[in-house]
């Protein structure tokens, strides 16, 4: 199995994700190629969540086009994948606490 740190890259801390935490949902930035099964395994290992994960939703986020609208000056931000892990009620993920 791949290194779990290669799959789950970092917690996603935004206004929206902070609100989601109230309904036991935690958002992460994950590897674009990772599937839900891989993410579940990696999360179980990293945060000791065996049997506590209810479901995982993933979505691909397309990077924004950046730069001026000139012929050769156009770039993009990288595409990435977001995973929202829903855990059983009352479970916390340490990494989010106190950040």
Partner 1 sequence: MKVEVEKLGNSCVRLRIEIAVDEVNEELERNYKALRTKVSVPGFRKGRVPSSILKARFAEHVKAEAIQNLVPPAYEQALISERLIPLGNLDISPPMHQMEIKENQPLAFEAVVDVKPDFVLPEYEELEIDKSPANVPREDVDAYIHRLQAQHATYTPLEIDRLVQEGDAVRIDWECFVDGKPITDGRREDMDVELGKGTLLPAIESGLIGMRANETREVEADFDLNHQNPELAGKHAVFNVALHAITEKHLPPLDDEFAKDLEYENYDQLYGAIWNNLVEEQKAMLYQRQREEVLQQLIEKTEIEIPGSIVDQHVQQTVQNVQQQLRRDRQTPEQAGIDMEKLPTELREDAIRQTKQSWIFDSIADRERIRVTDDELDIEIRLIAEQQNRDAQKYASLLKANNRLEEFRTTLRDDKIYRFLIQRASAKRSLIIS
Answer for which of 1, 3, 15, 78 binds partner 1 (CB under 8 A) is: 15
16-54 as b/e: b if 16+ CB within 10 A: ebeebeeebbbbbebbeebeeebbbbbbbbbbebeebbe
Least distance CB 38 / partner 1 (angstroms): 25
- When asked if residue 13 is in the footprint of partner 1 (CB under 8 A), the reply is yes
Residue 92: Cβ within 10 Å count: 12
Answer for which of 37, 59, 70, 99 binds partner 1 (CB under 8 A) is: 99
- When asked if residue 22 is in the footprint of partner 1 (CB under 8 A), the reply is no
- When asked if residue 18 is in the footprint of partner 1 (CB under 8 A), the reply is yes
């Amino acid at each position: 199995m791949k290194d779990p740190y290669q799959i789950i890259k970092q917690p996603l801390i935004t206004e929206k994700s902070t609100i989601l935490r109230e309904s036991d949902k935690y958002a992460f930035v994950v590897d674009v190629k990772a599937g839900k099964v891989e993410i579940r395994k990696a999360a179980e290992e990293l945060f000791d969540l065996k049997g506590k994960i209810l479901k995982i939703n993933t979505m691909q986020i397309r990077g924004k086009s950046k730069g001026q609208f000139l012929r050769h000056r156009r770039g993009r931000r990288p595409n990435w994948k977001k995973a929202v892990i829903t855990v059983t009620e009352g479970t916390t993920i340490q990494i989010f606490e106190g950040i």
